[in-house]
Amino acid sequence: MRGREKEYDRRSVQPLVVMAQQPFQLKRPKECDKEWSWVEDIPPHVVFDPLSTVSATYGVAYQTKFRDNENVWSSRPTIFVIDQSGVLRHVASTGRNQDIREEGIFPILDELDAQRKSITALEGKDAERREAVGLVLAPRGPRTGEAIPALVKSLTDEDTRLRSGAAAALLWLGSRAEEAVPALTVALEDNDARVRRFATMALGRVGASAKTAVPRLVRGLTDEDQRVRMETLAALEGIGPDAGAGLQQALKDKDARIRAAAAQALPRFRGQVESSVPVLMEGMKDADAGVRLAAANALRQLPVRQETRKPAVPVIIATLEDKDARVRAAAANAVHWLGPDAREVVPSLIEALRDQAAEVRSPVANALADIGKEAGSAIPALIETLGDKEVYVRASAAWALGLIGLVGEHSKAEIRALVTALKDPDVQVRRASASSLTRIGRPGTDAMAAVQPLIEAMKDHDGGVRALAASALGALGSDAKPAIPVLLGAVKEGDDNVRRAVIKALAAVGPDAEVAVPAFIEALKDRHHDVRRSAAKALGQFGTAAKNAVPALVEALKDENGEVRQETALALKKIDPEAAKKAGLK
């Protein structure tokens, strides 16, 4: 917080950081009493305070919704904003394993301040409104609901400031504003963006009881104001399952923009994923290209059972021939979502590799890569695609060949094609080709024809290509014996990744590479810990043939890196068990 003191002072805010030290960590009981724990109702970003550390001070207590049935610790960073009267005004989480940054806190504080100013603007009109403002700003109590009639009335005032203040006040009332849902729904049509935004947020805070507002809320997904659109999605999520059903219905709206926005939003409603599949399949046949695109992109985000996905196969195949290139590309991206049934799409994907649009050809190649070995019939077409005029298409094709692997009659042609691609003018294609040769390279296979070209690739100006070429040579094992001199020369390479890959490759070549032992001994002093670890492991693979390395390995037991020490100990036990015992190893 150093250097930010003025920012806090300007906002009259006192930051408080609560560290989750051991005594205060949160543990899920094996069985939760739903009468007090509200496991299904409390949002997943909210934290429970079992020791009453926070609640005793501020009068608030919440509980996390833990994953699965594991007895896990909560580590979700959460921001609480509590005003000077002790009222919790804001709760938000950044998600697990993400830090809370101050630049993210200040906009929250500024937004709350803007809401408060809007609310207090109501005070100057009449006694009824002043009393309503007082009830809203005070801690919630039995009389809080008495503020609603005056606020509902103010929602229709001709003064924009008063309408905005009323919507903000109802937002601050949260679920207590349930009886104002009809008035808030009407306010969604207000000509002022701030009023629409506050009304939207208020409905989301009401939750499931605001389900009658869903049809109108859905239209807010196409609002001209970006902040209204964002808050609309959050509000629909706050309302829950009924909002998901409303979005499905909105895919039949006469306005194409609304249909597209509804399709985009559906994946966020996990309670409706199974029933959303047929709805989105219909959306992929929509007359509007934007709707078809949104539906195809949304479909692949639904985590549904395999039997629910299968009916989408013919729809995706048909969409691969859509007249809009963006939609065809989205269909190709959705193939992976089909799981095992994706193999039925292979013939259509082979045809789509010849699509006129490069933006389609690349995801088609990626789809074949995802299918893997069952896409073997696509190898000739992918080899042809290695000559594509677009770099990223060639790279995708090279990558796909590696993931599909060597397939019988096509294996020699595949190796020749990848070897040729090692000389492609673009580095991404060369890297993809070397990586694929690493995947498919095995001793005693047609891949041995790649040894000499890979040796040549060790001279590439790009370190990534050199490292991948070394890995590919290592994958060929003893067949890569001719590469030993070149690999030895690269042990002292300037690139850390290359040195690590070279050491692993030499170890994989086998006994013929014992001449590399002195180089490995030297590498135990490398500046990069992963290179030192690889050197120790390689020495262990040579066993007693690496006897000369014992003194250096004993010294390496003192390495500052734990992984290096661990690998060194294993190597020493393999090479000289007696020396290992003398060094104190068990």
Q: What is the pLDDT of residues 566-581, one digit of tens each?
A: 999 999 999 999 998 9
For 150-159, the pLDDT digits (tens) are 999 999 999 9
Q: Taking Cα atoms as reference points, which of 228, 198, 232, 226 lies closest to residue 114?
A: 198
Residue 145 domain flag: no
Over 50: is that where the pLDDT of 57 sits?
no
Count the Cβ atoms, other than its own, within 10 Å of residue 358: 16
Residue 338 domain flag: no
What is the average per-residue pLDDT within 217-239?
A: 93
Considering only 17-26, 299-308, 369-378, 434-443, which range has the smallest mean pLDDT? Answer: 17-26
Over 50: is that where the pLDDT of 557 sits?
yes
Answer with the one of 64, 88, 120 that is the final residue of a domain: 120
Q: Taking Cα atoms as reference points, which of 367, 270, 284, 290 lies closest to residue 321?
A: 284
pLDDT grade for 65, boundaries at 50, 70 and 90: very low
pLDDT at 76: 53
Domain span at 14: 5-120
What 8-state DSSP symbol labels residue 140? P
For 329-352, the pLDDT digits (tens) are 999 999 999 999 999 999 999 999
pLDDT at 385: 97
pLDDT grade for 98, boundaries at 50, 70 and 90: low
Residue 24 domain flag: yes
pLDDT at 380: 96
Residue 391 domain flag: no
Q: What percent of the chain has pLDDT over 90?
A: 65
Rounded to whole angstroms, the Cα distance separating 159 from 148 reads: 18
pLDDT grade for 226, boundaries at 50, 70 and 90: very high
Cβ–Cβ under 8 Å, residues 564 and 533:
yes
Answer with the one of 120, 154, 182 that is the final residue of a domain: 120
Residue 132 CA, chain-centre distance (Å), reads 44
Amino acid at 319: T
Number of domains in the chain: 2
pLDDT at 494: 82
Domain CATH code at residue 574: 1.25.10.10
H or E segment to which residue 93 belongs: strand 88-93
Over 50: is that where the pLDDT of 61 sits?
no
pLDDT at 409: 81
pLDDT grade for 586, boundaries at 50, 70 and 90: confident
Q: Taking Cα atoms as reference points, which of 404, 426, 389, 306 lies closest to residue 346?
A: 404
Cβ–Cβ under 8 Å, residues 293 and 324:
yes
- In degrees and rounded to multiples of 5, residue 81 shows phi and psi of -115, 120
Top mean pLDDT of 183-197, 519-533, 557-571 is at: 183-197
Residue 146 domain flag: no
Q: Please report how the helices 411-421 and 391-404 are oriented relative to each other, as an axis angle in degrees rounded to 10.
A: 140
Over 80: is that where the pLDDT of 539 sits?
yes
Residue 534 domain flag: yes
Q: Taking Cα atoms as reference points, which of 230, 239, 269, 234 lies closest to residue 251?
A: 269
Secondary structure of residue 520 in the 3-state scheme: helix
Residue 358 domain flag: no
For 458-504, the pLDDT digits (tens) are 999 999 999 999 999 999 999 999 999 999 899 888 888 999 999 99
Over 90: is that where the pLDDT of 67 sits?
no
Rounded to whole angstroms, the Cα distance separating 411 from 418 reads: 11
Answer with the one of 90, 120, 150 that is the final residue of a domain: 120
pLDDT grade for 103, boundaries at 50, 70 and 90: confident
Residue 21 domain flag: yes
For 243-275, the pLDDT digits (tens) are 999 999 999 999 999 999 999 999 988 888 899
Cβ–Cβ under 8 Å, residues 122 and 165:
yes
pLDDT grade for 397, boundaries at 50, 70 and 90: very high
Over 70: is that where the pLDDT of 455 sits?
yes
